[in-house]
Chain A
Amino acid sequence: MTSTQTADAEPPNAAGEESDADGTAPFACPYCDREFARADYRDLHLGLEHADALSPAERSAYETARDAEEEALTLFRYKAVGLLIVIYFGFLMLYAVSL
């Protein structure tokens, strides 16, 4: 199976929160053959792909993971807006200076 090869071939990630590619057992989906590097990825996968088959525990895990994802997305949106503003005004300045 290629997924284990992938895990072996790639060095662990620098960010501590994502360092699951370093040989620890992946989080497998009980309903299909997919494996995930993080428990919340698996929980999200369960809610998205196997919503009808979930046990109450799996459902609440999915809801927790979804809420955390939503929170992280909000933070990401703020960063993206900030970056867009920097790009826009950065170029405005660049054009003002060089034209």
Chain B
Amino acid sequence: MEYEIKPPGKFKINFAELWEFRELIYFFTWRDIKVKYKQTVLGAAWVILQPLLLVVLFSYTFSRLLSMETGTLEYPLFVFSGLLLWNIFSSGINSASNSMISNANIINKIYFPRLIIPISSIFSTLVDFTIQLGLFIIVLLIYGKYSSILPMILLLPISLVITLLTTFGLGSYLAALNVKYRDFRYIVPFMIQVLLFLTPIIYPVASINIPMFKIIFLLNPVATAIELLRSGINGTPPEWNLVLLAFTISLLFFLVGVAFFRKTEQYFADLA
């Protein structure tokens, strides 16, 4: 094994090296999951309680109090399906953007491909997602939507890829920025809050008639990913041209985010 250490150079993702370090990705993910619910009384039950409480809250406010119309899909199912992907995005962004700072003590002392840190922080949110998906399927069964399950599962991989690419791109971009400017620690939660309202999670796209919002939905890959999943549940045909657009945008997010991360990474140990 021969390699060269030289001054900062041009951007390139070293996939072979990432593969070499795959066990470390596993261990970091495993650590994040283990530590997450330590010293809580309910422990891992929070993974289920958190979305369930939100669904109840939103259903009560928007369906009961404001009687929002969500077509053939019952409001609780509507909001739950939205939260399912949204949770990947919001908690992924949250943990990825803080990941470089919270692992600064390791970054300063040991070398490994730095991308491993945002990668594993997003992987750990996928574990929560899997559990919540199981819960969602149970809820679908309770509502008697037996025929919805298979189409939803078939469309899920596409929705998931779009969501993950977006989350990972934005997450690693913010992770790198956070090393340089700690302000982002305060900006990110606010930004996520704003994005929650700019994504059709608690209200359907059809209920909005403002043109600017229509454009935002088009450019928001997570919005399209959620709509795609819902079309599976509803049995309506997906709008494939929108899905393609969302995929392209998410890929762009991914490439820009990772490129920025790689460019900044060379100075992490000097800055953090």
- To the question of whether A and B form a pair in one complex, the answer is no
- Listed in ascending order, the chain A residues whose CB lies under 8 Å from chain B are none
B contact residues vs A (CB 8 Å cutoff): none
